[in-house]
Structure 1
Amino acid sequence: MSSKEKNNMTEMVTFIPQDESAIANGNAKYEIAKGDPEAANVLNGTFDPFKARVLEHPVSESGTLIHLLKSCLGTGILAMPFAFKCAGLAVGIVATLIESLICTHCAYVLVVCAHELYKRSGRTQMTFADVAEEACRRGPKWSRRFGPVARRLVDIGIFVTYFGTCSAYTVIVAKNFDKVTAEYWGPLEIRLYLLILLIPLIILCYVPNLKYLTPVSMIANGFMALGLGITCYYLVIGLPPIAERNLSTDIQLFPTFFSITIFALEAIGVVMPLENNMEKPQRFIGICGILNQGMAGVTLSYILIGFLGYLKFGDATFANVTLNLPKDEYLAQAVQILIALAIFCTFGLQFFICLEIAWNGLKDRFKKNATFANYVLRTIMVVVAVLIAIAVPTIGPFISLIGAFCFSILGLLIPVFIETITFWEKGFGPCNWKIYKNVIVVATGVLALIFGTKSALEDIVAMYTGNQTEVVMAAPRVNVSDIQTTITTLIDTTTEMLATVK
């Protein structure tokens, strides 16, 4: 390399490892240039990744909170009354709180590990896949070879899940509009609605970055809040006494509640993109951090709608509570339109996650015309998402299957795995309490994987056999001894792991 080329290198490029050869025995080897203070800070442990981070369009704390609320307050909240029907009023409240704590904790530890790895690696930003790979590289010897595998698993899982969600969102928006217009002009072929949505979706996805997407999320939150407000109005009219509803139900019905709630609460895919674009990323976590604030609000909203919906409609509660609202009233029809508009606006946030993954894999090939190539990619991705929806308008059960498989692994299992190997050398706290805590999370993830997948497969079978209504309303049955066996196996495995650590 000539002296001129060296002078043109930025300080960050000078000391950040450019390939796996820079990692030896889990430690980075840095090439330090003269007068490179940040490189020296990395090596002496005083590097501050938050001060070193440079963003062209940083997002404020309030903007990040708005995005987080929008990513979590999706269509899943409308299924919460049915979830409470499967758990009972009292059990539903307690179980929702527990599941929310687990989901929030997994997102929290992912960001904590990212901040720890920033300091070790000298990097200022990481995607979810970067965190998984970097944790493996800098973890115990046995984990280092899994770095590339961890990266691919996370990238593929997130892309497939959220891209599939984008396709499902287009179907949901089209069907909600069709429910209203059908009352006045008759039903319209769903595929025509999807074609009409194509151009508006492309325009929405041309929003350049998360900062400029904040107003869109604010509008979406407004639509969703108004729609939920009207729904609550219908729910509180003529409420029966609590004594007429079950406080708890048969434990065999609980897997349905578990599956609906865990996947409604999950938003692991947006955590690192939001943190990466924050003006003050250190405030994303903490007792009163953005993550805890957002998830607390989301959890309370889920409990409120679930409790009131089941209390109002009881055993007549549908899988989507808006189906219980009167179809011929303007106010109820407004709910359908508002929710459709909220989901339409949410499409941009879900799409941004997929775009980031796809663009990171392609941007090195289009350095000369990066902006043009980026917008071509956006257009192609939107068109493909809509074409998938047109080809398979009954895509919902398939997305549920992908979500059950991916979210249980990505949202629960991988974060605790990352935490374990990131802090392998530092230890797991007094009496190794973090290991026992992670066992609980792993048990939750395994149960979510099993029962979520089972429920989704039943819906797919029902869709092709003509028994969809019955399957949607029926809860998957499970043998309690199977759960006990799973948990016992996890405890035995943990005991062996602790013996190895000691």
Structure 2
Amino acid sequence: MSKEKDSVDIENFKSTADLTSNPGFQSSISIASKAIDEKPYNPFEHRTVEHPNSTIGSVVHLLKACLGTGILAMPGAFKNSGLAAGIVGTIIAGFVCTHTVAMVVRIAQDSCVKLKKPSLSFSETCGAAFTLGPKPLQQFGPKVKSIVDYSMTVTYFSVLCVYVVFIGSSLKEVLDFYYPEFMSIQAYCAITLVPLVLIGQIRNLKYLVPFSAIANVFILIVFSITMYYLFVDLPPVTDRVMVASVTTWPLFMSTAIFAMEGIGVVMPIENEMRNPKRFLGCPGVLNVSMIIAITLYGIVGFFGYLQYGDEAKGSVTLNLPEGDIIAQAAKLLMAVVIFLSYALQFYVPMEMITRTRKGKESKYENFVQVAIRTGLVTVSVAIAAAFPNLELVISFVGAVFFSTLGLLIPVVIDTVHRWEDGFGFCGYHMIKNIIIGLISLIALFSGAYVSIEGMIQDFGGSSHESHNATLT
């Protein structure tokens, strides 16, 4: 019995030895061992950031990006929706904007793993979604990246126009108290040209740091003063409309999108985090920041409209008492904040233009840079002077640019990204993307239509007044 067992063991050993000595088997073992030893590419481990942001620092950066001129426009947005509809609409708009941002970040992180790149910008993420997507769409990756780059440039240029209108409106509000109807809003926009041209010549971000620091201090003062006035002698809630006419809802929707959408700054913040895994998730940087931001939007919008009703303007600071020195100081400080922020926003379109001109520099490059920067500032001031209604300008920019960049493009790239892997249970992700896409298109066309219609009426009215003044 033992001899038979020994002979069987010997035969098994021989067959195993023959198998392991086989070159094909050795190759298979080598590949398997390599696959086990080789870890999946982790983009977070390959990022080299000179000064990484902490989790709390990233929350602060994202809040700073979200809480700008948009939050001051929320009372005007509530005027177009009503108190009850405004609260519901703010929550829905906030949820949708947060979700689309989260989609872009997830796609970026997945694409980094596949492409073995440490980080991707927003436009690179959009291009990567197509490049790594279905074969018929892969050829469009570079074109999609370029389209998004140009869209970002135009979007941030439109924000510059909003800034000019804001500065001009603030100056007029203050000076009209001392010199009634001294100058038109167009003239106030025009006098910002020279200071904006000068600050627009700053070409290095590090030189803008002191301006941003001053702006941050001023904006805290302005918000404190504004919130004080919002809560003084509030009228009863019954004095305000709960649900406004459906015809004005597009103005609310596009203004809310303008206020909340920060798609352009999200990827730079995530890319410079010390621990990028904490950007998404619960509680993550994105969710915490947006919950705080949405709460503040709702508070300012609700109480701003409750306080000022149908008199609510494109920025609630413009509603502050004209004869109160503190209120006037808040208006002027906010104008200074926007003036100092102009240079930072101006950096985005200029960075794109500079990138496209690489390799085309000449010995007159310094002169060319000055000419381009002066020309862009002049165009932004000219557009602002032509359409100086702040509420309508904000609504138009939100409807046309931010609804496309912040809502439509994210759902398109998410659909392409998921195409080959499926859309989840009962096509949940496809249904959700279609709904968000429809919301963005409704905001785009209805918001743009209502805004343009209002601008035409304003433009026609101002032209008629100028004609009558000339005849007089």
TM-score by length of structure 2 reads 0.79
Structure 2 CA distance for aligned equivalents of residues 363 and 58 of structure 1: 28
- The aligned runs of 1:270-289 (5 Å cut-off) are 270-289=265-284
Letter paired with 1:394: A
Structure 2 CA distance for aligned equivalents of residues 105 and 331 of structure 1: 39
Q: Indicate how the Cα distance of structure 1 residues 201 and 62 shifts in structure 2: closer, same or farther if over 3 A, else same.
A: farther
How far the C-alpha of 1:171 sits from its partner, in A, is 4.2
Task: Say which SS state the counterpart of residue 132 (structure 1) adopts.
Answer: helix
Q: Indicate how the Cα distance of structure 1 residues 468 and 55 shifts in structure 2: closer, same or farther if over 3 A, else same.
A: farther
Is the counterpart of residue 206 in structure 1 residue 217 in structure 2?
no
Task: Say which SS state the counterpart of residue 202 (structure 1) adopts.
Answer: coil
1:247 is matched with which residue: 242, 245, 266?
242
Letter paired with 1:129: S
Q: Indicate how the Cα distance of structure 1 residues 112 and 364 shifts in structure 2: closer, same or farther if over 3 A, else same.
A: farther
1:247-304 Cα offsets, whole Å, 9 max, x none, are 2233333222212212221121222233233343333222222222222222111111
Letter paired with 1:389: S
Q: Indicate how the Cα distance of structure 1 residues 270 and 68 shifts in structure 2: closer, same or farther if over 3 A, else same.
A: same
Is the counterpart of residue 79 in structure 1 residue 42 in structure 2?
no
How far the C-alpha of 1:132 sits from its partner, in A, is 1.1
Is the counterpart of residue 314 in structure 1 residue 309 in structure 2?
yes
Task: Say which SS state the counterpart of residue 176 (structure 1) adopts.
Answer: helix
2:375 is matched with which residue: 380, 384, 409?
384
Letter paired with 2:223: L
Letter paired with 1:106: T
Q: Which residue is equivalent to 2:110? A: 116
Q: Indicate how the Cα distance of structure 1 residues 449 and 193 shifts in structure 2: closer, same or farther if over 3 A, else same.
A: closer
How far the C-alpha of 1:98 sits from its partner, in A, is 0.7
Is the counterpart of residue 192 in structure 1 residue 191 in structure 2?
yes
1:172 is matched with which residue: 166, 169, 190?
166
Letter paired with 2:386: T
Bigger drift between 301-310 and 260-269 goes to: 260-269
How far the C-alpha of 1:422 sits from its partner, in A, is 1.5
Structure 2 CA distance for aligned equivalents of residues 323 and 172 of structure 1: 9
Q: Indicate how the Cα distance of structure 1 residues 411 and 167 shifts in structure 2: closer, same or farther if over 3 A, else same.
A: same
Q: Indicate how the Cα distance of structure 1 residues 286 and 379 shifts in structure 2: closer, same or farther if over 3 A, else same.
A: farther
Task: Say which SS state the counterpart of residue 197 (structure 2) adopts.
Answer: helix
Structure 1 CA distance for aligned equivalents of residues 369 and 44 of structure 2: 30
- The aligned runs of 1:324-363 (5 Å cut-off) are 324-363=319-358
1:425 is matched with which residue: 420, 427, 447?
420
Is the Cα contact below 8 Å between 2:78 and 2:305 reproduced in 1? Answer: yes
1:129-187 Cα offsets, whole Å, 9 max, x none, are 11111110111123223223312221111101102322432342244235434545785
Structure 1 CA distance for aligned equivalents of residues 371 and 60 of structure 2: 28
Q: Which residue is equivalent to 1:488? A: none
Q: Indicate how the Cα distance of structure 1 residues 65 and 342 shifts in structure 2: closer, same or farther if over 3 A, else same.
A: farther
- The aligned runs of 1:411-450 (5 Å cut-off) are 411-450=406-445
Bigger drift between 280-289 and 138-147 goes to: 280-289
Bigger drift between 141-150 and 100-109 goes to: 141-150
Letter paired with 2:205: V
Letter paired with 1:407: F
Is the Cα contact below 8 Å between 1:270 and 1:353 reproduced in 2? Answer: no
Letter paired with 1:206: N
1:79-111 Cα offsets, whole Å, 9 max, x none, are 211222222222211110111110111111101
- Runs of at least 5 residues in structure 2 that lack an aligned partner in the other structure: 1-33, 465-472
How far the C-alpha of 1:57 sits from its partner, in A, is 4.3
Q: Which residue is equivalent to 2:49? A: 55
Letter paired with 2:272: N
Structure 2 CA distance for aligned equivalents of residues 425 and 112 of structure 1: 16
Structure 2 CA distance for aligned equivalents of residues 109 and 171 of structure 1: 33
Q: Indicate how the Cα distance of structure 1 residues 315 and 168 shifts in structure 2: closer, same or farther if over 3 A, else same.
A: closer
How far the C-alpha of 1:306 sits from its partner, in A, is 0.8
Q: Which residue is equivalent to 1:231? A: 226
Is the counterpart of residue 147 in structure 1 residue 138 in structure 2?
no
Q: Indicate how the Cα distance of structure 1 residues 225 and 208 shifts in structure 2: closer, same or farther if over 3 A, else same.
A: closer
Is the Cα contact below 8 Å between 2:79 and 2:305 reproduced in 1? Answer: yes
Is the counterpart of residue 107 in structure 1 residue 80 in structure 2?
no
TM-score by length of structure 1 reads 0.75
Is the counterpart of residue 294 in structure 1 residue 286 in structure 2?
no
Structure 2 CA distance for aligned equivalents of residues 421 and 441 of structure 1: 15
Is the Cα contact below 8 Å between 1:355 and 1:378 reproduced in 2? Answer: no
Structure 2 CA distance for aligned equivalents of residues 286 and 377 of structure 1: 46
Is the Cα contact below 8 Å between 2:79 and 2:312 reproduced in 1? Answer: yes
Letter paired with 1:461: I
Structure 1 CA distance for aligned equivalents of residues 296 and 233 of structure 2: 21
Q: Indicate how the Cα distance of structure 1 residues 225 and 418 shifts in structure 2: closer, same or farther if over 3 A, else same.
A: same
Structure 2 CA distance for aligned equivalents of residues 236 and 409 of structure 1: 36
Is the Cα contact below 8 Å between 1:78 and 1:322 reproduced in 2? Answer: yes
Structure 1 CA distance for aligned equivalents of residues 238 and 387 of structure 2: 39
1:329-375 Cα offsets, whole Å, 9 max, x none, are 10110121221122223324423332443344344667x99xx97x8
- Runs of at least 5 residues in structure 1 that lack an aligned partner in the other structure: 1-39, 470-502
How far the C-alpha of 1:201 sits from its partner, in A, is 4.2
Structure 2 CA distance for aligned equivalents of residues 85 and 326 of structure 1: 19
